[in-house]
């Protein structure tokens, strides 16, 4: 494996171009598995948790959500306020570049830690959403699934007093902070009356085994790993990186700021994901 080349952000374009060229050399002729994190969606208006300049966030844990109705009120009120803004986001050039790599037969698919569904909107066909998708809601008792838009309509009807402010501070998971939730009416399952939860992995919750197995299968068929917009702090991401490392696959990481996988990367490019992915896709497709 070649030595790591870390390119600090803010340097001249020719330096980043040199790193892109090195990444192309590492990836060309190989079938690529793509792993993405929140940094891929920042150019779509969805913030990340750990990127440069990101505010400190304390997301609700799965244990808190289950522990009391008050926590569920707080979550659903904030999630409901953020939903319209979150769902209005569209794919950016980075999402489209990844889809182009797949359509060209260069990438075997994308594994994402994001819950925004933007890879599918961009045209990616094989998407493993490790942490679920915010557009689905599931009953924790009977397993019934609901479309998020349908639940949002129920929430709006039950809470007409809750209006979306003109400017909200959206979180990476689509929710916002709201102080007074005492009178908020949370949704319940229309089948069994059970607790409803967006079909996403909360902090403190495990990635479903079948999802991780699907991601591992995609990794098994790959000859290289391209990580984009992830600090690799979350356990699911670092486990996939370990699979690549054990098989001595070349790893290219594109992320602003350090990641937990930098020491194992053939190339680390500290730059924006959208422009870098576009450059990689253009070169790898020629």
Which active-site residues does the annotation give? Answer: 131
- Residue 205, number of CB atoms within 10 A of its CB: 16
Whole-angstrom Cα Rg for the chain: 20
Cβ atoms within 10 Å, residue 79:
24
Query: Which stretch of DSSP H or E encloses residue 22?
Result: helix 13-27
Asked whether 39 and 255 are in contact (CB, 8 A), the reply is yes
* Residue whose structure tokens are 């001249």: 12
Count CB neighbours of 166 within 10 A: 5
Tokens for 242, please give them: 């370990």
Q: 């639940």: which residue's tokens?
A: 151
Rounded distance between C-alpha atoms, residue 241 and residue 110, angstroms = 14
Type and span of the H or E element at 63? helix 62-67
Q: How many residues does the chain have?
A: 286
Return the number of other C-beta atoms located less than 10 Å from residue 7's C-beta: 20
Neighbours of 241 (CB within 10 A): 23
Place of tokens 């792993």: 35
Per the CB < 8 A criterion, the answer to whether 141 and 189 are in contact is: yes
Give the H/E segment covering residue 132.
strand 132-139
């Amino acid at each position: 494996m070649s030595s790591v080349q870390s390119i600090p952000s803010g340097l001249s374009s020719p330096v980043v171009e040199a790193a892109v060229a090195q990444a192309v050399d590492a990836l060309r002729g190989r079938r690529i598995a793509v792993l993405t994190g929140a940094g891929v969606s920042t150019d779509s208006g969805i913030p990340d948790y750990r990127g440069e300049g990101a505010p400190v966030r304390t997301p609700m844990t799965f244990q808190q959500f289950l522990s009391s109705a008050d926590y569920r009120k707080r979550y659903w009120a904030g999630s409901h306020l953020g939903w319209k803004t979150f769902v209005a986001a569209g794919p950016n050039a980075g999402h489209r570049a990844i889809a182009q790599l797949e359509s060209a037969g260069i990438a075997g698919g994308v594994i994402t830690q994001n819950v925004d569904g933007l890879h599918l909107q961009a045209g990616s066909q094989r998407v493993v959403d490790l942490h679920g998708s915010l557009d689905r809601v599931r009953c924790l008792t009977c397993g019934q699934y609901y479309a998020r838009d349908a639940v949002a309509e129920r929430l709006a009807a039950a809470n007409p007093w809750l209006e979306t402010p003109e400017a909200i501070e959206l979180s990476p998971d689509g929710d916002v902070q709201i102080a007074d939730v005492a009178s908020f009416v949370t949704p319940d399952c229309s089948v069994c009356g059970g607790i409803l939860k967006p079909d996403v992995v909360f902090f403190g919750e495990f990635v479903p085994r079948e999802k991780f197995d699907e991601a591992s299968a995609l990794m098994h068929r790959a000859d290289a790993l391209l990580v984009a917009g992830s600090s690799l702090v979350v356990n699911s991401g670092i486990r996939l990186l370990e699979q690549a490392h054990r098989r001595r696959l070349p790893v290219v990481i594109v992320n602003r700021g350090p990641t937990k996988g930098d020491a194992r990367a053939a190339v680390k490019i500290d730059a924006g994901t959208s422009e870098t992915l576009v450059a990689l896709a253009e070169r790898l497709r020629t």
